[in-house]
């Protein structure tokens, strides 16, 4: 193995601009790169960073095999984010159109966490220290 490997998740969404604004507003994601897709001006990829963790969003393009959770009937991936205040992050996500699947509560495994589906169909575990 080489130490130059980076793992960068890419979330496929119907509207990368809307998703980028959502992730900025609710998670504080910083946009670090944007590449346009053809003449329509729609980005083919937008890279973000939350803390030291990068992730990307791209539009659903079925001919490329890039399908969003709504195209697939749901998401097969859970994204977990550890934050200082899971309740505040969860509330912001809901205020911006997310759906609570499992309420954020103290859990017997020593974390405060819950599960949320964002407006683009991606599933998030929001976790932090017990209160």
Cα distance between residue 67 and residue 89, in whole Å:
27
Instruction: List, for residues 12-63, the tens digit of each pLDDT value.
Output: 999 999 999 999 999 999 999 999 876 667 798 999 999 999 999 999 989 9
Q: Which CATH class is domain 10-128?
A: alpha beta
**Stretch 101-113: mean pLDDT:** 97
How far, in Å, CA of 80 to CA of 67, rounded?
21
Domain boundaries, the chain: 10-128
Is residue 61 exposed (0-12), middle (13-18) or buried (19+ Cβ within 10 Å)? Answer: middle
């Amino acid at each position: 193995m080489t130490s130059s490997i980076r793992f960068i998740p890419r979330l496929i969404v119907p509207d990368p601009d809307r998703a980028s604004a959502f992730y900025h507003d609710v998670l504080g994601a910083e946009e670090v790169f944007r590449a346009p897709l053809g003449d329509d001006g729609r980005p083919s990829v937008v890279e973000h960073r939350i803390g030291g963790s990068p992730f990307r969003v791209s539009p659903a393009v079925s001919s490329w095999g890039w399908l969003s959770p709504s195209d697939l009937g749901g998401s097969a991936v859970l994204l977990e984010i550890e934050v200082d205040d899971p309740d505040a992050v969860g509330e912001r996500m809901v205020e911006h159109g997310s759906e609570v699947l499992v309420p954020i509560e103290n859990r017997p495994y020593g974390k405060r966490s819950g599960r949320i589906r964002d407006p683009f169909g991606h599933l998030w575990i929001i976790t932090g220290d017990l209160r």
